[in-house]
Amino acid sequence: MDYFLQQLINGVTLGAIYGLVAIGYTMVYGIIGMINFAHGEIYMIGAFIAVISFLALGMLGITWVPLAVVMVLLLTMLFTAVYGWTVERLAYRPLRGSFRLAPLISAIGMSIFLQNYVQLVQGARVKPLPPVMSDVIVLLERGDGFRVSVSELQLLILALTVVLMIAFTRLIARTPLGRAQRACEQDMKMASLLGIDVDRTISLTFVMGAALAGVAGVMVTMYYGVIDFYIGFLAGIKAFTAAVLGGIGSLPGAMLGGLLIGLIEAFWSAYFSVEYKDVAVFGILVLVLIFRPTGLLGRPELEKV
């Protein structure tokens, strides 16, 4: 039971990171019906910006951890938001009126470009980051020395995820931008006729999704302490899987899917062969799509006539 509890804590932490990335996928799909396959690379860029920012702040003498973490989060969100806006402007907007496959191919091309761009600029070697928050809180301790613990970083990840989830849900439900996003989701042409700036709304959606991916990049960098230019591909695929599993187009569904994938990975790695944890994740996705094609919290898509 103690081991189960520890893996539960680890799985929820990992799932929170996947959920933050998955929200970006589901927000973009909810408005324009397209999958931004460059989103995983935005997350990877956020991780590299985090490493550079922590090193720069250390050189400037800013070593108080709370201040450093807040500054790194803000810097990373700013830079990844710019990258998100650029991806929308270059890879999506010129092809919005084209056939549906064109933006998908463009996004995949942008993903490959960003991957190689980071490799050329930062090098192919892994980038380490010394532990920033290493304190742990022991919850249980067995006689054989096994401890059930939660780190301060895990608590930060969970708290930040909850706060961002509530903030974005309220933003979409209660603000003019959120109403514009929901209007574009229902009928983009009618929203434009009613005076909504569709281009601005879509750009801001990409910006918000990219900022969330940047937060996830900071958290995963602090959590694992090592990154490389390839981490965005697998994390992006898993976050996309989380969005589909929870019901793509649903923010709570994206977070639920991320938590489920994190828990599946943690428990499979603990009780079965760790080499097959990805097989387990995608296998469960296949089963969900067979028996509930819209995902756990998704709604059937109504075709407009």
Residue 59 in domain:
yes
Residue 187's pLDDT band, with cuts at 50, 70 and 90, is: confident
In contact, 206 and 87? CB cutoff 8 Å: yes
Q: Give me the residue label for tokens 């991320």.
A: 258
Residue 304's pLDDT band, with cuts at 50, 70 and 90, is: low
What tens digit of pLDDT does each residue of 143-152 get? 777 788 899 9
Residue 273 in domain:
no
Q: What average pLDDT does the segment 177-184 reach?
A: 88
Average pLDDT of the residues of the chain: 87
pLDDT the model gives residue 85: 93
pLDDT the model gives residue 43: 93
Strand partners, 128: 226
What tens digit of pLDDT does each residue of 111-122 get? 999 999 999 998
pLDDT the model gives residue 12: 93
Q: What average pLDDT does the segment 281-304 reach?
A: 77
The residue with greater pLDDT, 156 or 300, is 156
Distances (CA, A) of 193 to 10, 30, 94, 121: 48, 20, 20, 44
Radius of gyration of the chain measured on its C-alpha atoms: 20
Q: Could you give the CA distance from residue 31 to residue 192 in angstroms, rounded to a whole number?
A: 13
Q: Is 293 a residue whose pLDDT tops 90?
A: no
Q: Which pTM value belongs to this model?
A: 0.91
| Residue 292, token pair as written in the block | 């509930």
Residue 301's pLDDT band, with cuts at 50, 70 and 90, is: low
Residue 300's pLDDT band, with cuts at 50, 70 and 90, is: low
| Residue 59, token pair as written in the block | 């050189």
Q: Sign of the C-alpha dihedral, residues 246, 250, 252, 258?
A: positive
Residue 252 in domain:
no
Q: How many domains does the chain have?
A: 1
Q: What average pLDDT does the segment 169-182 reach?
A: 87
Three-state secondary structure readout of 36-60: CCCHHHHHHHHHHHHHHHHHHHHHC
Residue 188's pLDDT band, with cuts at 50, 70 and 90, is: confident
End-to-end CA distance of the chain: 54
Expressed as residue numbers, the domain containing 72 is 21-239
Residue 286 in domain:
no
Q: Is 249 a residue whose pLDDT tops 90?
A: no
Residue 8 in domain:
no
Residue 68 in domain:
yes
Q: Strand runs (DSSP E) across 46-185, as ranges? A: 127-128, 136-141, 147-151
Residue 107 in domain:
yes
Could you tell me what percent of the chain has a pLDDT over 70?
97
Q: Is 299 a residue whose pLDDT tops 80?
A: no
Q: What average pLDDT does the segment 100-111 reach?
A: 85
The residue with greater pLDDT, 19 or 29, is 19
Residue 140 in domain:
yes
Q: Strand runs (DSSP E) across the chain, as ranges? A: 127-128, 136-141, 147-151, 226-227
**How long is the chain?**
305
Q: Could you give the CA distance from residue 114 to residue 120 in angstroms, rounded to a whole number?
A: 10
What tens digit of pLDDT does each residue of 20-77 get? 999 888 888 877 777 788 899 999 999 999 999 999 998 998 888 889 999 999 999 9
Q: What average pLDDT does the segment 164-176 reach?
A: 87
Q: Could you give the CA distance from residue 221 to residue 219 in angstroms, rounded to a whole number?
A: 5
Could you tell me what percent of the chain has a pLDDT over 90?
35
